[in-house]
């Protein structure tokens, strides 16, 4: 199943099954996340990407439960564990809406993200994103989309995380901002492995080494990300894209969401 049989994965998901209400949402999700670089979690809308990451983080809704499978983080079984337990083991999460407090300053956003007694890596964060130091007194809500994504990632990198999960960071952003966010993610990935839910294939191509594709609540492909994206037939059948190559060739940041519309 592993796309890179070398180093021990930081996260291993095996045959994960999740029910929400009466619906069986995940019916066999399995993949590894390598301890360095970016692993992309891909798939059409509604296939279970967000449910997968929220299951790992113990963030299922009240009527949801893990009904089977295992989640190993750093070799420890955290299947079905509560969020604070999983997070304390060293997983950062940047949700789809970024989780940034718009009314608070950059400094306040970071201060609120500090977990426990530390260490808190302000040096690392300011080294990666010097702009945030300069803008520490600015309200987060007045920042650009790319700068807000910096704040969101900085909140995750501030703590001693062994993995950061980022859910659709470029969704709804203008192409110029998408490029900016991709740069931010690239810098973050130099320091910590990322599990990236992403529909913009230009961003995946730029950042990801490994790809995991879900369909209808199951893993249907794992492997080298660029190899997958270079195989147009495969990309079309797995992700429902390929009819818009022109748009991608123009560098406009194609997404599977756009392509399946
Ligand atoms: N709280 C919930 N209650 C009921 N069904 C849910 C709930 N959350 C998700 N689902 C369903 O689970 C399926 C998977 O949703 P999920 O958000 O995990 O998919 P996704 O791949 O992340 O999609 P998208 O790309 O649209 O964000 C969908 O059919 C969705 O309607």
* C-alpha atoms less than 13 angstroms from C-alpha of 136 in its C-beta half-sphere: 11
- Reported ipTM exceeds the 0.85 cut: yes
Q: Confidence class of residue 258 from pLDDT cuts 50, 70 and 90?
A: very low
Is pLDDT of 244 > 50? no
Mean pLDDT of 163-190: 91
Is pLDDT of 169 > 50? yes
CA distance 111 to 17: 36
- Show the tokens assigned to 81: 């564990």
- The three-state secondary structure class of 26 is strand
Q: Confidence class of residue 242 from pLDDT cuts 50, 70 and 90?
A: low
List, chain by chain if needed, residues with CB within 6 Å of any ligand 1 atom: 20-21, 23, 25, 43, 45-51, 61
Is pLDDT of 72 > 50? yes
Query: Which of the 8 DSSP states describes residue 135?
Result: T
CA distance 243 to 249: 12
Task: For 218-232, write each residue's pLDDT tens digit.
Answer: 999 999 999 999 999
Atom of ligand 1 nearest to the CA of 52: 18
66, 80 in Cβ contact below 8 A?
Answer: yes
Mutate to test the pocket of ligand 1, among 16, 48, 212 (most ligand atoms within 8 A of CB): 48
Task: For 19-66, write each residue's pLDDT tens digit.
Answer: 999 999 999 999 999 999 999 999 999 999 999 999 999 999 999 999
Predicted pLDDT of residue 5:
57
CA of 46 to the centre of ligand 1 (A): 5
CA of 20 to the centre of ligand 1 (A): 9
149, 191 in Cβ contact below 8 A?
Answer: no
Could you give the angle at which helices 145-157 and 106-113 cross, rounded to 10 degrees?
30
Is pLDDT of 6 > 80? no
Atom of ligand 1 nearest to the CA of 43: 21
The residue contributing the CA closest to ligand 1 atom 4 is: 20
Q: Strand ranges (DSSP E) for the chain?
A: 11-20, 23-33, 38-42, 64-73, 76-77, 91-94, 163-167, 194-197, 210-215, 218-224
Query: Which of the 8 DSSP states describes residue 140?
Result: G
pTM attached to this predicted model: 0.88
Q: Is the dihedral of CA 75, 76, 77, 79 positive or negative?
A: negative
* C-alpha atoms less than 13 angstroms from C-alpha of 84 in its C-beta half-sphere: 2
Mutate to test the pocket of ligand 1, among 18, 20, 21, 25 (most ligand atoms within 8 A of CB): 25
């Amino acid at each position: 199943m592993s796309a890179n049989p070398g180093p021990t994965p930081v996260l291993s998901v095996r045959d994960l099954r999740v029910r929400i209400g009466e619906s069986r949402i995940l019916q066999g999700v399995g993949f590894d996340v390598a301890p360095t670089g970016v692993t992309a979690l891909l798939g059409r809308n509604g296939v279970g990407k967000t449910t997968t990451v929220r299951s790992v983080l113990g963030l299922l809704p009240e009527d949801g439960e893990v009904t089977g499978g295992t989640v190993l983080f750093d070799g420890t079984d955290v299947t079905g564990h509560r969020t604070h337990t999983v997070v304390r083991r060293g997983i950062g999460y940047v949700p789809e809406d970024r989780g940034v407090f718009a009314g608070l300053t950059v400094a306040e956003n970071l201060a609120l993200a500090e977990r426990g007694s530390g260490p808190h890596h302000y040096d690392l964060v300011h080294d990666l994103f010097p702009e945030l130091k300069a803008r520490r007194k600015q309200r987060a809500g007045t920042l650009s989309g790319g700068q807000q994504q910096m704040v969101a990632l900085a909140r995750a990198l501030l703590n001693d995380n062994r993995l950061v999960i980022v859910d659709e960071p470029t969704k709804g952003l203008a192409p110029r901002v998408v490029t900016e966010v991709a740069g931010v993610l690239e810098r973050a990935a130099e320091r910590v492995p990322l599990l990236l839910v992403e529909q913009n294939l230009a961003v995946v191509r730029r950042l990801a080494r490994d790809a995991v594709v879900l369909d209808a609540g199951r893993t249907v492909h794992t492997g080298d990300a660029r190899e997958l994206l270079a195989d147009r037939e495969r990309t079309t059948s797995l992700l429902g894209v390929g009819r818009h190559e022109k748009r991608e060739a123009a560098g406009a940041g194609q997404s599977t969401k756009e392509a399946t519309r």
